[in-house]
Amino acid sequence: MIESVVLEDFPNLARKYKKFVIGLSGGQDSVAILHALKELKSTDIENSNFLVEAVHVNHGLQKHATEFQQFCQGLCSKLQIKLHIEYITKDEEGKKELGIEAFARRERYLAYSRILNAEDCLVLGHHAEDQVETFLLQWIRGSGINGLSCMTRFTQKTVRGKRFSVWRPFLHLTKDSIKRYLVDNRLNWVDDPTNLCNKFDRNKIRNVILPEILSIRKGGMKGMLRSIDNVREAKHLIDRKMKQLFRNVVYSDCDFLMQNEFLNVTICGIKLLKESDSVICELIRFWLSCAGLIAPPSTRLKEFVRQLRRAARAARPELIIKGEIDSYKMLSFKGRLWLEKK
């Protein structure tokens, strides 16, 4: 099962990337993808002109962090895979501002960006349950279609000017199928004890809510994954329309593959305000998503649009935007809109 899932994408990816770097936590999913890629490199001689490496991020957030690192070092030594160790610096203010989970995610991607470049592919082991957990979290938070479309199998990431690709081959595999692969191949892994602590929203969904939902109907996991795919397809159709409209309101041509260009474009406010409020909000969401930023709640977006419509020529409406790494503000002055780093 795992081998066929990996092979579904791999021939094309092996011709495109020189290096595959697995985000290795030591848990079941990352150990499985590490072993599967190592086996693929050993057996598929035709497509083996690539490197397999791993990166372990030591968050230093719990007493077991050193044990996790040592396990990953031992595993990579056994498999003869180069392992990068990255450490997260202490930032108590950042943890308070973002929360532990968002802070750890931000720091992981900063760590990844230090060792990856455009010729590399970061491989993450997110599986089906992770995808459904993300959907439920986004739903509870009141997210729109961007949030509810969840994680994608393949995407581009830009972190402080460093651009690299991200591949998640396990998104439609259950954790049970991953565990069977580990047992069949006599592989060990480490369990993070904090995953059992239900004071964190994701853990409570994973340990309490999701098992209860899945008990309602047989095949519920496949059904929920299909719904997420449907949401993502709807998002894709909306994005195609927004891309056309965006070209009409931006002052110059924009490379839609480059996040950095979206951070630096200027929008014609006069053309933008010819659209309805709902379309303007969707265009701003599209703009921010392409720039790698997180759109603010609908209420704040609608208020910003209201200010744009009522602003005198000398007024400067402003919208504060939080990104995964840096924060920005959207400014409007004399009929132009642009983004500035805070």
User: Distance (Å, rounded) from C-alpha 318 to C-alpha 219?
Assistant: 47
Q: What is the DSSP letter of 195?
A: G
pLDDT in tens, 118-174: 899 999 999 999 999 999 999 999 998 989 999 999 998 888 878 899 999 999 999
**pLDDT category of residue 6 using cuts at 50, 70 and 90:** confident
| Average pLDDT taken over every residue of the chain | 89
Contacts of 330 (CB under 8 A, 6+ apart): 284, 304, 318, 319, 321, 337, 338, 339
Model confidence at 40: pLDDT above 60? yes
User: Distance (Å, rounded) from C-alpha 232 to C-alpha 166?
Assistant: 17
Dihedral, CA of residue 100, residue 235, residue 289 and residue 271, to nearest 10: -150
Instruction: Please name each of the domains of the chain with its CATH number.
Output: 2-216 (3.40.50.620), 237-341 (1.20.59)
Say what the pTM is. 0.87
User: Distance (Å, rounded) from C-alpha 314 to C-alpha 327?
Assistant: 25
Model confidence at 311: pLDDT above 60? yes
Give the pLDDT of residue 206: 95
Model confidence at 49: pLDDT above 90? no
pLDDT in tens, 93-121: 767 777 777 888 889 999 999 999 889 99
pLDDT over 90, % of the chain: 62
| Amino acid (one-letter) located at 5 | V
Q: What length is written for the chain?
A: 342
Model confidence at 234: pLDDT above 90? yes
* Among candidate residues 304, 36, 14, the one with its CA nearest the CA of residue 177: 36
Q: Is the CB of residue 102 less than 8 Å from the CB of residue 137? A: no
* Among candidate residues 173, 175, 274, 284, the one with its CA nearest the CA of residue 225: 173
For residue 292, the tally of other CB atoms under 10 A from its CB is 18
